[in-house]
């Protein structure tokens, strides 16, 4: 009784046995009435006369009739039992086979074969279960792939500043590098880069685990845009990139966490600064939509090819894997953090880009204040 097949088969037999028992009880009480109605013509005087006379012939006739009914019922029950057992084995096999396949596939996945999938047959609950299992397996495979990529990317990102720091220190020890302010400045710069990476990792860990609180309150969307513009004006001027704000004048107030909203716009604007060349242009805008305010950061920089746009918000995703952080390619942590923060505040975020060399526009929405 430990297997589902045995339980299903026993359940079929129990249903059959209960049905036969009910039939027997019903026949026990119904046969005399049926016999009297059909064999005696339903005449009370004849029935009383035969009972009063104690007619042996009538009793024998009734006994034979009842025996015949129960004998026929016995043969029918035997055939029904054989058919029920056969059908029970067949249907239990149809149910158990997909479940067994799911069990075997789950074992293979637990052994590390994350590309395992099961067949989907029909449109019943088992097919739906198989479909959900395949989706789960696909997400596990993607998560495992991201985990491996995360370990590789973190190792690479940590190795770059650590290698620079170690090389500078070894140069100081060997006397190859002078103990000057420039040398110590390079070491300090690499240490800061290492510290920023560690801070980013801690931040994304908190954001993905939702280990933070949101102070949602009414905010002026235009004021948030101006705050970010003022914060970035100097680095944009140093790189000779035009930074402009384009919020409409009739923007409704949004229900958001001010610090987190500024953080999202800061990440997107910093991303635009990083990928826009000198003499380029970046525009931060906000406009009203149905129930939302859409914030946009548009640049005319390097752009994003279409095949990368669905993955641009993944952790540590880089379009050009050969470019390092030091060479100017971000690891994608900022965009991942921005995605989680926007969704936590009831909005959504996406990117639009015609392709490489044609710039890109990051959009995200924040709900307006209700009532």
**184-233 pLDDT, tens digit each:** 888 888 888 788 778 877 877 777 777 778 889 999 999 999 999 999 99
Same domain assignment for residues 259 and 358 = yes
Count the domains in the chain. 3
Same domain assignment for residues 165 and 47 = no
Element (H, E) at 219: strand 217-219
Same domain assignment for residues 244 and 159 = no
* Predicted pLDDT of residue 33: 66
Lowest mean pLDDT among 46-55, 186-195, 331-340: 46-55
Q: How many Å apart are CA 74 and CA 137, to the nearest integer? A: 52
Same domain assignment for residues 28 and 99 = yes
Same domain assignment for residues 357 and 225 = yes
Residue where one domain finishes, among candidates 61, 90, 110: 110
Quickly tell me which residue has 């299992």 as its tokens.
Answer: 133
Same domain assignment for residues 180 and 251 = no
Q: Global pTM?
A: 0.57
Q: How many Å apart are CA 288 and CA 250, to the nearest integer? A: 8
* Predicted pLDDT of residue 307: 81
Same domain assignment for residues 298 and 159 = no
Domain range holding 80? 4-110
Cβ contact 369:253 at 8 Å: yes
Same domain assignment for residues 227 and 363 = yes
Pick the more confident residue, 198 or 342.
Answer: 342
Q: How many Å apart are CA 301 and CA 355, to the nearest integer? A: 10
139 within a domain of the structure (yes/no): no
The pLDDT of 265-278, averaged and rounded, is 91
Residue where one domain finishes, among candidates 85, 110, 135: 110
Q: How many Å apart are CA 324 and CA 254, to the nearest integer? A: 37
| pLDDT at 323 exceeding the cut of 70 | no
Cβ contact 251:293 at 8 Å: yes
**CATH number of the domain within which 351 lies:** 3.30.565.10
Same domain assignment for residues 357 and 222 = yes
Q: How many Å apart are CA 240 and CA 232, to the nearest integer? A: 12
Residue where one domain finishes, among candidates 162, 181, 208: 208
Lowest mean pLDDT among 69-78, 137-146, 254-263, 343-352: 69-78
Same domain assignment for residues 31 and 162 = no
Same domain assignment for residues 242 and 163 = no
Tens digits of residue pLDDT in 3-35? 666 666 677 777 777 777 767 776 666 666 666
Pick the more confident residue, 140 or 33.
Answer: 140
In the chain, what percentage of residues exceed pLDDT 90?
24
């Amino acid at each position: 009784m430990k297997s589902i097949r045995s339980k299903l088969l026993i359940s079929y037999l129990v249903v059959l046995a209960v049905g036969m028992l009910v039939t027997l009880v019903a026949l026990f009480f119904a046969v005399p009435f049926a016999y009297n109605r059909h064999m005696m013509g339903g005449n009370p005087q004849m029935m009383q006369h035969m009972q009063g006379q104690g007619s042996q012939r009538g009793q024998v006739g009734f006994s034979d009739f009842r025996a015949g009914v129960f004998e026929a019922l016995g043969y029918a029950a035997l055939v029904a039992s054989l058919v029920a057992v056969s059908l029970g084995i067949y249907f239990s096999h149809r149910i158990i086979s997909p479940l067994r396949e799911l069990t075997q596939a789950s074992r293979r996945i637990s052994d590390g074969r994350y590309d395992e999938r099961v067949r989907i047959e029909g449109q019943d609950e088992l097919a739906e279960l198989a479909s959900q299992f395949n989706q789960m397996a696909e997400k596990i495979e993607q998560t495992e792939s991201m985990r491996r990529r995360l370990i590789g990317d973190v190792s690479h990102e940590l190795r770059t500043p650590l290698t620079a720091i170690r090389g500078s220190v070894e140069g100081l020890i060997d006397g190859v590098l002078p103990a000057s302010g420039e040398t110590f400045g390079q070491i300090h710069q690499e240490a800061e880069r290492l510290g920023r990476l560690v801070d980013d990792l801690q931040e994304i860990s908190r954001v993905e685990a939702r280990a933070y609180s949101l102070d949602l309150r009414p905010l002026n969307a235009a004021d948030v845009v101006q705050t970010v513009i003022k914060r970035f004006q100097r680095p944009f001027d140093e790189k000779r990139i035009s930074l402009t704000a384009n919020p409409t004048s009739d923007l409704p107030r949004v229900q958001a966490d001010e610090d987190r909203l500024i953080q999202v716009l800061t990440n997107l604007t910093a991303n635009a600064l990083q990928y826009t060349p000198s003499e380029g242009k970046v525009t931060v805008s906000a406009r009203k939509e149905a129930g939302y305010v859409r914030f946009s950061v548009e640049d005319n920089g390097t752009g994003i090819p279409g095949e990368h746009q669905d993955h641009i918000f993944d952790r540590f995703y880089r379009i050009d894997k050969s470019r390092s952080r030091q060479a100017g390619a971000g690891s994608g942590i900022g965009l991942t953090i921005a995605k989680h923060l926007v969704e936590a505040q009831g909005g959504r975020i996406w990117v639009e880009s015609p392709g490489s060399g044609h710039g890109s526009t990051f959009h995200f929405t924040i709900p307006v204040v209700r009532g």
